[in-house]
Amino acid sequence: MAKKFPLNPKHPERICWGCDRYCPATSLACGNGADRTMHPAELLGEDWYIFEDGSIDPVVETKSPTELDSGIQQPVQR
């Protein structure tokens, strides 16, 4: 199972984001002179996930089920 990808980590420059290993930038496990892969937030800003195809859903606080039930409109009977 893949690790959850953080939307806005505190220090993205300290980690390579190229695979699920998340190696320290000073000790890359990929070898052969590999460079660190930057986090999308470093390239596109904090709202980077909005520019993508929408496959990443940010964690959003939702209302409780009882609050949601009270806002549901019932279909109109004709």
pLDDT (tens digit per residue) in 3-56: 788 888 899 999 998 888 888 988 888 876 678 889 988 988 888 877 656 555
pTM of the model: 0.56
Does residue 65 or residue 3 have the better pLDDT? 3
pLDDT at position 4: 82
State the virtual CA torsion across 39, 40, 45, 50 in degrees, nearest 10: -140
